[in-house]
Chains A and B, each alone.
Chain A
Amino acid sequence: MDKSSVQNGPVEHAASAPTRRELYEAGVRRRSNRIALISTVSVVLALIVLVPLAPGWDAVQRAFFNGKVFVATFPGLLEAFLLNVMIFAWSAPLIAIVGLAIALCRDTRAPALFPLRLFGIAYTDVFRGLPVVLVIYIIGFGIPGLGLPRPWNSPYIWGTLALVLVYSAYVAEVIRSGIDSIHKSQRSAAASLGLSDRDTMRYVVLPQAIRNVVPANMNLFIALQKDVALLSFIGPVEVFRQAGVYKSLYANFTPYVGAALIFLILTIPATRYADYLMNKQNKART
């Protein structure tokens, strides 16, 4: 055998005649795939066949999966969903900024800045501990109730603030965990290079920390996307509220199913993307 054929050997070998080992593995794979297929099909079939056999199926179908109501209400729901997207679009950057600021507060090391650190701790403790709806009510009705003139008493402003307060507390904790995950030696190394504390944080710690917590933050933003619907409690007619209006008009729950579909269309790709990022990160680490 000359040199080139040795190099090409395994490739040619795999292409022409698989080894017994490869044959065996391919067989196992085929068998697993077959079993997975049969089991999935039978579960789906069982659901399709058995659920409609339930005595109340007709009533449930009419109340939740009513084609006529769905067609009548879906366009209105889509239109209302634009408001969700808008609220999300202006809340998310604010949350990222405030979250980062709070995380940095909690990480201050200078003794003189201890009050800042205390503030960071109190902030995350309070806003992570409160139900979102309560914060929305208190801020959304309470602050405008102090007598602010229009447009400064708008529920959009104060509702957004409520979302920012709660979600930035979560984001801050995630970012802090990212900061903590950076080994102490990195700071020491930066210090030995003559970097100030501030520069160490900015050029050494944060870039690594943020990258580590991107997937976790993606999860939070998916949750935020759903919690935007809670703003409907203080007035804005977003998709969930619009679905409620339709529900009451038609005495039918189908509009909620329509709203759920709209949410899924957005959250499923976002979730998949978060998974993809997480996998990529895990691979990079190993």
Chain B
Amino acid sequence: MKLIAGTALALMLSTTSVLAAGDGTCAKGKTLNDGTLTIATGNPAYYPWVMNDAPESGEGFEAAVAYAIAEKMGFSQDNVSWVRTSFDEAIQPGAKNFDFNMQQYSITPEREEMVDFSLPYYTSAMAVLTTQNVVDGGAQATLDSLKGLKWGGVATTTAIPMLKDIIQPTDEPLLYNDNADVNAAIMAGQIDAAIYDLPTALYLSAVVVEGGTLLGQFPPEQSDSPDQFGLLMEQGNPLKECVDAAITELTESGELAAIEAQWLSEATGVPVIE
């Protein structure tokens, strides 16, 4: 009996010491629910950011990063819970139902006036999704050629101002609610090309859009304000410093790069648009 009690005590001690080692002190008392980290993602969450719309599995780039950040903050896998929000729900005034929200939010100074962003966890290239028909029709990966195309995109992304600034298309672009509608417009021939972040574009061209292909990419190094994804938090959230510390740690240790290599495919085959 004594032996069992002793072992139990030793076990309890050892688990608490493991928790303490995980630097779990920073986030203590700062989360929505004590002892649990609540993370929000999109509804649905898209490949390759979250596989099979199941972030709980930890599969997919963002799901994996989320669990890595949680671990650095001292939350075990069981202590992470997921909720779903739209973009509008994430920025609405009032209490939030998440500690941080992770769905490819680009960090911009305008947005930072309303919400807080963590340090970036991914820097994305922008890519031009089109179809083989358009390429056969003579479209090339040059700005001149791109200008003459009929453009489309998802209205709620930062890709739209980029499209207008860099490519400056002759025709007004058509804008849509979500990826599915943009793809429908491409397949109906209403638009020639659409602009997406590179991982999404790779996926759409390979799996979703019939005859889809990538005409080219704008690598982040080339841009003055590259598209960087950050975790979105309510403004003034005290958890921000803990999240930032965790992301810094992951970046410096190379873990973040490893996760990226695991889930986001290489895009070396996509020509660069100068």
Interface residues of A (CB under 8 A from B): 56, 59-60, 62-64, 141, 144-145, 147-150, 153-155, 232-237, 241, 244-245, 247-253
Contacts and interface: CB of A to CB of B under 8 A. Distances in A.
Given A155-B190, A244-B175, A251-B115, 15 more contacts: A59-B94, A62-B93, A63-B93, A145-B188, A147-B189, A150-B189, A155-B174, A233-B176, A233-B181, A234-B190, A235-B190, A237-B155, A237-B175, A244-B156, A249-B161
B169 to A, nearest CB: 12
A145 B133 CA distance: 15
Interface of B: 87-88, 91-94, 108, 110-111, 113-115, 150, 152, 155-158, 160-161, 172-177, 181, 184-185, 187-191
Nearest to A146: B188
B155 A234 contact: no
Contacts of A248: 87, 155-158
A254 B158 CA distance: 18
Contacts of A251: 91, 110-111, 113-115
Contact of A237 (B173, B181, B185): B173
Nearest to B174: A235
B93 A59 contact: yes
B110 A250 contact: yes
Nearest to A60: B93
A208 B161 CA distance: 54
B93 A56 contact: yes
Contact of B152 (A148, A232, A235): A235
A285 B155 CA distance: 51
B92 A153 contact: no
Contacts of A236: 174
A56 B172 CA distance: 39
Given A245-B156, A248-B155, A249-B108, A141 B177 contact: no
A251 B108 CA distance: 10
A235 B176 contact: yes
Contacts of B190: 144, 153-155, 234-235
B100 to A, nearest CB: 15
Contact of B177 (A59, A62, A150, A233): A233
A144 B91 contact: no
A141 B188 contact: yes
